[in-house]
């Protein structure tokens, strides 16, 4: 069996900080998806370059990821020796630490060798935060609907 390293191995190298900004549209339910079609790392077994299409998708809560900093963050993995599994776990940990989203999905479509591909996907859901968001939105809509009905029944004389 090959020793492909652990998550600790992926955590050993430094990456630039993922910068964030205040979510300007917290009241909307949306996802943000960023894809890097030229993501390159090194295989821990063969030390050959691994070419990957990497996608970071998340549902923002209070903070959004600044795209330019995410691009720099992704580029910092070039020439790093890391397994795909440890790579996704490292990126997921860093995304969660940076913006604490409602949910996140990190996907990798890896060209392993000679046309063979491996696809990995790691998911995270903050169920408590999602329920809080949905119940708050429900209450806001209920209040809005009750105000609208009250306005409709008011007649000027």
Q: 7-125 maps to which CATH number?
A: 3.30.1130.10
Domain ranges of the chain: 7-125
Residue 90 to residue 11: CA distance in whole angstroms:
7
153 Cβ neighbours under 8 A, 6+ residues apart: none
The reported pLDDT for the residue numbered 43 is 86
- Of 43, 93, 100, 109, the catalytic one is 43
Residue 25 to residue 48: CA distance in whole angstroms:
43
- Of 50, 64, 94, 110, the catalytic one is 50
The reported pLDDT for the residue numbered 8 is 45
Contact 23, 63 (CB under 8 A): yes
43 is catalytic: yes
The reported pLDDT for the residue numbered 24 is 97
The reported pLDDT for the residue numbered 131 is 73
Q: For the purposes of burial, counting CB atoms within 10 Å of the CB of 64, is it exposed (0-12), middle (13-18) or buried (19 or more)?
A: buried
Statement: the pTM of the whole predicted model exceeds 0.85? no
156 is catalytic: no
| 10-residue stretch averages of pLDDT, the chain, 157 residues long | 52 88 94 94 87 95 96 93 91 96 95 81 84 72 64 55
């Amino acid at each position: 069996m090959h020793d492909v390293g652990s998550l600790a191995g992926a955590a050993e190298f430094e990456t630039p900080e993922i910068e964030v900004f205040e979510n300007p549209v917290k009241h909307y339910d949306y996802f943000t998806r960023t894809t890097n079609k030229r993501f390159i790392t090194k295989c821990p077994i063969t030390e050959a370059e691994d070419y990957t299409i990497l996608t970071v998708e998340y549902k923002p809560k209070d903070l959004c990821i600044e795209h330019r900093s995410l691009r720099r963050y992704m580029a910092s993995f070039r020439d790093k020796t890391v397994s795909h599994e440890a790579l996704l776990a490292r990126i997921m940990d860093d995304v969660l630490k940076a913006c604490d989203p409602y949910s996140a999905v990190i996907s990798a479509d890896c060209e392993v060798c000679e046309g063979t591909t491996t696809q990995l996907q790691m998911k995270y859901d903050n169920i408590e935060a999602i329920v809080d968001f949905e119940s708050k939105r429900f209450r806001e809509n209920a209040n809005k609907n009750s105000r609208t009905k009250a306005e409709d029944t008011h007649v000027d004389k």
